[in-house]
Structure 1
Amino acid sequence: MKQRPQLIDPKRIVVKIGTSSLIYPDGQLNLKTMDELAFVLSAIRKRGRQVILVSSGAIGVGLNQLQLKQRPADIASQQAIAAIGQNELMAIFNQRFASYGQQIGQVLLTHDVMDYPVSKQNVLNTFEKLVAMNTIPVVNENDTVAIDELDHRTTFGDNDQLSALVATSLQADLLIILSDIDCLYSADPRTNTQAVPVPLVTSVTDELFSDAGGSGTRFGTGGMVTKLKAAEKMINAGGQMVLANGEDPKIIFDILAGQSIGTLFTSGAHMKGLKRHG
């Protein structure tokens, strides 16, 4: 596969996987993807890199568990479904990671926890201890208590934003967002046949935001706009981000090997230190 400027060797990586990669369109769990993700992240961890997983899917998994075809409109029902789904999600992850000899630890966050300095520092201390113990933290928004109606901010709105906040707060070198799309395109490929892949972005511009489309499936809340916001946050913090298709998590190995997969978001300053290949 064609090479592009390599990533600066990332020591600490945050991987975010979206609901659409974990759940089939009919609502069934994609156990193959969950198993492969556990295998890949466990292997990366054993090679000496620090890994944090941000996983969506609590409500989607809950809908599947309860055999519901539609997400209910009221907040209390959504929170109850998220509680059921999060429990099942972690049970599966724990089983799959354990089969590869990898310990994981659950971290549920709300925005206000990250807004207040004391609580934020406590959370960051927990993350640091977990990675020091060779554990992979598995992060999700605490949907059972996070609602928009409270006076203080509790929701992140989507896990793209959550993953970028976790990555920048922990000074991660690289954020990998695995989604149901291959990369960033010059336009929405679903509606524009002239859309072409954009392999490299060094600045997230207003034009990029205006070209971004909406969300993908009924199970997920994110879209290209949220991914661009995450990329902007990473670039501003001096990190890098790759957006790629999460259908086969083994793609992470190729990304870390420097292959031109998905879209790499990196600052111009990083470009000076990157080597171009063939």
Structure 2
Amino acid sequence: MTRASLRSRSEIPTARRVVVKVGSSSISGANAGQIAPLVDALAAAHARGTEVILVSSGAIATGMPYLKLDARPSDLATQQAAAAVGQNILVFRYQDSLRRYEITAGQVLLTAGDLENPTHRSNAQRAMDRLLGLRILPIVNENDTVATHEIRFGDNDRLAALVSQLVGADALVLLSDVDALYTRPPQEPGAVKIETVPVGDELAGVTFGDIGAAGVGTGGAATKVSAARLAAAAGTAVLVTSTANVAEALSGADIGTWFEPASLMREPSATGSIALG
């Protein structure tokens, strides 16, 4: 499938296929109530004909209270147990909210090995394409129940970038607790919002802190930059913003940090080389 070359945030509503990634801290625990407004935004995009894929973290965090855990478990077996319980509850919460719009969700659980194995990758791509063709909203997560430390994606920002490549998405929206990327952690004096990241921009002198609630999620600003570069290098435009701004993001508002896709690369003298970092 040929993806569109989006030139700005304002063109996101015209995208044929969009991947939205939301982190654990945004939709679990005290923030579980953010699922409803997130679904509102996804449903609005779905209603105008956009094919939407949601990459959602949160299985382990959602399962923790049911295992009577106060903190994210460090051992793999307990992480797997929490994920087994939490994934079921998380998808139920999404489907319960999507029912208001008569949208059906389809659960897709992947491991890094699935996307590295050509046969598994082809099967995943075919399944996703068919779900979208049937107007089903795929909800993708790492298969934490069977994934081992050796074959994990590392964080769902990277998973979202790889899914964007898999489905040929026009845009990837990476959501967190912060409205954009800044030159340093936004709570520090002198932090300046980064509006646009051209292809090949090394973001020299930028210092990234963590994004998300400590001990719940695994990603941060640095993982979002790495994932955004990976997706942008493959031709998918990327917007990094907060979960609270998802409706505005999908409506094309001038918010967040925009990563230009490689298909819009200017002359080499203006941008330098692509950094996948």
TM-score by length of 2: 0.86
- 2:249 equivalent in structure 1: 255
Measured in 2, the distance between the counterparts of 1:254 and 1:84 equals: 32
Q: 1:15 and 2:20 equivalent? A: yes
> In the alignment, which of 198, 207, 210 is matched to residue 202 of structure 1?
198
Other structure's SS at 2:252 match? coil
8 Å contact kept, 1:215–1:221: no
For residue 241 of structure 1, what is the amino acid of its counterpart?
Answer: V
CA distance in 1, matches of 2:136, 2:164: 16
Give the number of aligned pairs: 257
Compute the displacement of 1:215 (Å). 5.1
Where do residues 142-161 of structure 1 align in structure 2 (5 Å cutoff)?
142-149=143-150, 154-161=151-158
- Decide which moves more: 236-245 or 181-190: 181-190
Amino acid of the residue matched to residue 39 of structure 2?
A
Map 1:35-50 → 2, pairs under 5 A? 35-50=36-51
Gaps of 5+ in 1: 273-278
- Separation of aligned partners in 2, 1:219 and 1:261: 26
Task: Give 1:119-158 correspondences, 5 Å limit.
Answer: 119-149=120-150, 154-158=151-155
Aligned-pair CA distance for 1:5: 6.2
- Helix, strand or coil at the partner of 1:198: coil
CA displacement at 1:145 relative to structure 2: 0.8
List structure 1 runs of 4+ shifted beyond 6 angstroms: none
Counterpart of 1:125, as a letter, is R
**Match for residue 242 of structure 1 among 239, 244, 249:** 239
- 1:15-164 equivalences under 5 Å are 15-23=20-28, 27-28=29-30, 30-149=31-150, 154-164=151-161
Whether the 8 Å CA contact 1:242–1:263 is kept in 2: the answer is yes
CA contact (8 A) 1:204 1:231 kept: no
TM-score (norm 1): 0.86
Native 8 Å contact 2:210 2:220 kept in 1:
yes
5+ residue gaps, structure 2: 1-7, 267-277
Give the 5 Å matches for 1:221-240: 221-240=218-237
Change in Cα spacing, 1:253 to 1:38, as seen in structure 2 (3 Å) is closer
RMSD: 2.0
Q: Which residue of 2 aligns with 1:276?
A: none
> Could you say which residue in structure 2 is the equivalent of 1:6?
10
